[in-house]
Amino acid sequence: VLEQEKMIGVVAGVGPLAGLDLLGKITEQTIAECDQEHLAVVSISQPGEIVDRTAYLLDDSLPNPAVAIAGQLRRLAQMGAQVAGIPCNTAHAPAIFTAVQHHLSTYGGHSVHLLHMIEEVGLFLRQQFGQIKRVGVLSTTGAYQAGIYPQILQPMGFAVVVPSWAEQESLIHPAIYDAEFGIKACGRKSEQARENLLVGVALLKDAGADAVVLGCTEIPLVIPEPEVDGLAVVDPTLILARALIREAAPHKLRPYSEVVG
């Protein structure tokens, strides 16, 4: 059986906490009774060479982070990774992700199957919730302005609902970036960030969302539960972890019912 399992590769430096979160979720979502039954995973966290993704989206005269990301994916492939993921929503903006795919395809040598985290979220929503139409998305202001989720989910048949600009600026952005209480400054301990984001979830519910995607890898740190007031909240890092296991060793993927239950 071991021979049939694929090795997973993780671009773990975008950012380092998201990388750790993905590695942890791969372990948690794997059915394993002892150390030896866990999947083979290689990761590179080399954040210094990957320029800020949002900065590039807002100013494309800057270097495209796709070059460094593709270089790291290539090294993961050389290490044996056959399927890989990038736990960063912004890196899945078409302007970056398409360039990553292009750089990968022009390399010789080992190839690696790179999953698309946000498309996986769309596939998950379709599979898990069937009829769902309106999907709410909370994200950084960079991802909001770049319209990453609408660009990817709308062609998959979803209507995407986001906070108003005023709500984005007054509630969501500070929850992630505020120097006093933002998640980047405080990590999972920020009660204020959680409060702001729960208001954000409620606003999207009022706007008709049938589920809400926590579209920034920091947000699930303060909203770890799979449902808020009966509304499903979806963690893309968890979905990516599960998709990687599905590709690497489908028989070792924990049932999703265990995650929700």
Site of interaction with a copy of itself (CB under 8 A): 2, 5, 7, 12-17, 20, 23-24, 27, 35-48, 50-52, 75, 78-79
Q: Is 129 helix (H, G, I), strand (E, B) or coil?
A: helix
**Closer residue to a copy of itself (CB): 69 or 162:** 69
Q: Count Cα neighbours of 143 within 13 Å in the Cβ-side half-sphere.
A: 25
* DSSP secondary structure, 69-103, as one string: HHHHHHHHHHTT-SEEE---SGGGSHHHHHHHHHH
Backbone angles phi, psi at 99, to 5 degrees: -70, -35
CA distance 163 to 112: 36
Least distance in angstroms from the C-beta of 76 to a copy of itself: 9
- DSSP secondary structure letter of residue 49: G
Kindly state the helix (H) or strand (E) to which residue 211 belongs, with its residue range: strand 211-214
Q: How far is the CB of 18 from a copy of itself (least distance, A)?
A: 9
User: Given the complex with a copy of itself, which of 82 and 209 has the nearer CB atom?
Assistant: 82
Between 35 and 229, CB nearer to a copy of itself: 35
Determine the Cα–Cα distance for residues 131 and 6; give it in Å rounded to an integer. Answer: 33
Q: Which is nearer to a copy of itself, 135 or 176 (CB)?
A: 176
Separation in Å, CA 77 to CA 31, 108, 135: 24, 11, 34
* Residue 226, φ and ψ in degrees, nearest 5: -85, -5
| CB 46, min distance to a copy of itself, A | 4
User: In terms of CB distance, is 2 or 166 closer to a copy of itself?
Assistant: 2
Q: Least distance to a copy of itself from the beta carbon of 38, Å? A: 5
Minimum Å gap between C-beta 33 and a copy of itself is 10
Q: How far is the CB of 156 from a copy of itself (least distance, A)?
A: 29
Q: Coil, helix or strand for 111? A: coil
In degrees, to the nearest 5, what angle opens at C-alpha 159 toward C-alphas 154 and 161?
Answer: 115
- Of the pair 46, 141, the CB lying nearest a copy of itself is at 46
